[in-house]
Chains A and B, each alone.
Chain A
Amino acid sequence: MLSLELLFDITLSVLLLILAGTALHVRHLYTGIVLFVAFGLLLAITWARLGAPDLALAEAAIGAGLTGVLLLAALARIGPEPPPRRPPARALSAGVLGVLVLILLIRAVLPLEQGPQPLPGLVSAHLDTSGVSHPVTAVLLNFRAWDTLLELVVLLLAVLGVRQLQPAGYKQAHAWTLLRAWSRILAPLSVIIAGYLLWRGSHAPGGAFQAGALLAAGIVLLRLAGLLPVLRWDDWPMRALVLMGIVVFLGIAAAGAWLGSGWLNYPPQWSGNLILLIEVAATLSIAASLSLLVIGEREELGT
């Protein structure tokens, strides 16, 4: 007898698998991208179901929203694909190989379900000294602050790489009145909600990443509605925003190393304020980097 929750889980996973398969293999690429966005939204529901609301927020803004814009923009530039050629024999062998790999994978993954789980206990034991009361934020910005710092570096590298390849001349669609009006309402809302998420991150699900992604989504919306000027890496305020997160983070880490407690170890009585400072800088930096990644442009250099 299946319980109701289990039924929901099974429905959710089957829907996810169907959406993923269709998104990849449907005939029109445009349909595939739309299905991929739907897949991202369903994935956000899955994260909420699995008790990870932080992740659901991030996935809804990043996985579904920004990735969708990126894919559609790339499709508009690359154009439709040539008709595929698929020898059936290879499809069969790929299928057989897939089943074999799947059996191996599941045999490897299933025993993990009963494995020991020491980390939650460790985190909750040290939560008092971290300066925040939400464990995910404590891990992100205190216990494993290295990851977050390097992630900001990865974001910067991606922005720089994209900038090298940026084609000038972005054919912007003409925005309709209703879209403009609605973006005018939605963009301030996204700023408010981002600020709320940032503030909430110290004691409940939320934090710099979700807030930054939401802010970036608002900026992208405004830009697509034609209400913002062109965003360029060449403008110095943009550069300052993108670099601010890394600079503040590195500054605090270096100050910690120099003044005593060690690289990325905050003094306990200060850690709450320091984490808030890093989070504010990181939010602005993530928002600027993500919006540059999605809609950044470069002026024609005359070559």
Chain B
Amino acid sequence: MSSTLIFLCAGSVLWLMGLHGLARLHHPIRRIMAINIMGSGTFMVMIALANRGEHSDPVLHALVVTGLVVAVSATAFALRLAVAISAHKSGKQQAPEPNE
């Protein structure tokens, strides 16, 4: 039993929780949080693997640093899409005929 093992398992469980949330939840913000949690699980598996030897693996660390920035860009874009969709929906409910 080592800490690498623990975090490998925790990362897998986190990923799965994210997937489950993505499939089961309805609100767009919750779904985006679920995707972020899946990402965190993936990062955790990668960092746990980077930590397995005596020297930690700088390539995996660099990949995850890159991944974090990409994740926050994607989150921002997804949230903006969700806001646009909800504005579109509420606009439709108020005015039954959409006028471009």
- In the complex they form, whether A and B have CB atoms below 8 Å apart is answered with yes
A contact set with B: CB distance below 8 Å: 5-6, 9-10, 13, 16-17, 20-21, 23-25, 29, 32-33, 36, 39, 43, 46-47, 49-52, 54-55, 58-59, 62-63, 66-67, 70-71, 73-75, 77-79, 81-82, 84, 86, 90-91, 94, 98, 101-102, 105-106, 109-110, 112-113, 115, 117, 119-121, 123-124, 135-136, 138-140, 143-144, 147-148, 151, 154-155, 157-159, 161-162, 165-167, 207, 209, 213, 286, 289-290, 293-294
Please name 12 pairs of A and B residues whose Cβ atoms are closer than 8 Å in the assembled complex, sorted by A.
A25-B21, A46-B7, A51-B51, A70-B72, A84-B25, A98-B16, A119-B58, A120-B59, A138-B58, A167-B84, A207-B65, A209-B69
Contact A10 B6 (CB under 8 A): yes
Contact A32 B30 (CB under 8 A): yes
Q: How many residues of B sit at the interface, in one of the four size bands? A: 35 or more
Contact B61 A52 (CB under 8 A): yes
In the assembled complex, the CB of A124 is this many whole angstroms from the nearest CB of chain B, namely 7
Contact B58 A136 (CB under 8 A): yes
B residues 1-22 with Cβ under 8 Å of A? 1-21
Alpha-carbon distance between A120 and B51 when the two chains are bound, in angstroms: 11
Alpha-carbon distance between A47 and B49 when the two chains are bound, in angstroms: 12
Contact A165 B84 (CB under 8 A): yes
Alpha-carbon distance between A74 and B73 when the two chains are bound, in angstroms: 14
Interface of B is mostly: helix
In the complex, which residue of chain B has the Cβ closest to the Cβ of A23?
Answer: B33
Q: Which residues of A contact B62 (CB under 8 A)?
A: 136, 139-140, 144, 147
B contact set with A: CB distance below 8 Å: 1-21, 23-30, 32-34, 36-37, 40, 43-45, 47-53, 55-66, 68-77, 79-84, 86-87
Alpha-carbon distance between A138 and B13 when the two chains are bound, in angstroms: 32
In the assembled complex, the CB of A63 is this many whole angstroms from the nearest CB of chain B, namely 6
Q: Which residues of B contact A106 (CB under 8 A)?
A: 8-9, 12
Alpha-carbon distance between A32 and B32 when the two chains are bound, in angstroms: 12
